[in-house]
Amino acid sequence: MMKVAILMAVFNRKAMTLACIKNCYEQIESMKADGRYSFSIYLTDDASTDGTYDAVSEAYPDVRIIRGNGSLYWNRGMCAAWEKAAEDSPDFYIWLNDDTSLKPGAFATLLENSAYLKHKAVVVGTAVDSKGNYSYGGRTSSGKIIPPDPIIPVVCDVFNGNLVLVPKSVYETVGTMDPVYSHSFGDYDYGVRASRAGITSVVAPGVLAVCDRNPGLPAWRNSAYPLKKRFAALMDPKGRPLKEQFVYDMRLSNVFMATGHAVSLLLKVLFPKREHK
């Protein structure tokens, strides 16, 4: 029986987190008859103040919870969950965001396509928003989302981390996400690092989940905020911290592209947009 570790990093979204875990167990239950896989959930709770830790512990005592100190954010929280899961040497790791609602058969589709690719590729699940528009999934190197084929996996360059399967062979080559990043970048960066290691990333067939994108103009681009607050929002872990952006851009391209991108971000802070109501 092959072992699958589901990795999550959560903070102050108790109801959403519980719903996501419930969704996971429904997926797992539907695959029990197959008998080929066993599943474990590893969840980093980054010091939630809304009772997430106690609620998950009570409702789902089998979930293995790693307690953060409130400064891990998504990427480093995922690293913590991954490092704990790796102690049990699973055959697969599935990244899952707690705001992502899985469609029936999502886990099975990821695993079936991994088998088709001899468990040597990263397999990415596509999500749509509540209106049916593509929201997260595999992307080109420039960030354009790649629509899934209904039947066969399609190659992608980078990907969002909402629903991703990483086989053990890939983990043994690439490792976990890079903790140099705090919140963002770790998922895209993983695709870049995998590609440089000669590993293919693919978009699994069909739409496997529903997840709405974060609405609105980011604060660092919004003229409603004064310059000082815009710059602070840019440098916040949930913004586009320049050091992390530079590291990612260097890996993706070169120093000229990285420097140019940094300058363009600063210009967007200096000359922001007005949010349309």
Token pair 């991994």: residue: 114
Instruction: Report the predicted TM-score, pTM, of the whole model to 2 decimal places.
Output: 0.96
CA gap 163, 21 in Å, rounded: 14
C-alpha–C-alpha distance, residues 168 and 226, integer Å: 47
Domain ranges of the chain: 2-210, 219-270
Q: Which CATH class is domain 2-210?
A: alpha beta
Give residue for tokens 């509540």.
130
Quote the CA–CA distance of 115 and 117 in Å, as a whole number: 5
Q: Are strands 122-128 and 134-136 parallel, antiparallel or unpaired?
A: antiparallel
pLDDT of residue 277: 52
Give burial (CB, 10 Å; 0-12/13-18/19+) of 44: buried
Residue 276, pLDDT score: 56
Q: How far is CA 52 from the centre of its chain?
A: 20
Rounded distance between C-alpha atoms, residue 17 and residue 166, angstroms: 22
| pLDDT on residue 275 | 62
With residue 237 as reference, give the H or E element that holds it.
none
Q: Tell me the one-letter amino acid at 238.
A: K
Which H or E run contains 21?
helix 14-30
C-alpha torsion sign, points 256, 73, 186, 82: positive
- From first to last of its 277 residues, the chain has per-residue pLDDT tens of 999 999 999 999 999 999 999 999 999 999 988 889 999 999 999 999 999 999 999 999 999 999 999 999 999 999 999 999 999 999 999 999 999 999 999 999 999 999 999 999 999 999 999 999 999 999 999 999 999 999 999 999 999 999 999 999 999 999 999 999 999 999 999 999 999 999 999 999 999 999 999 878 999 999 999 999 999 999 999 999 999 999 999 999 999 999 999 999 999 999 998 765 5
Of the candidates 83, 74, 68, 69, the one whose C-alpha atom is nearest the C-alpha of residue 5 is 83
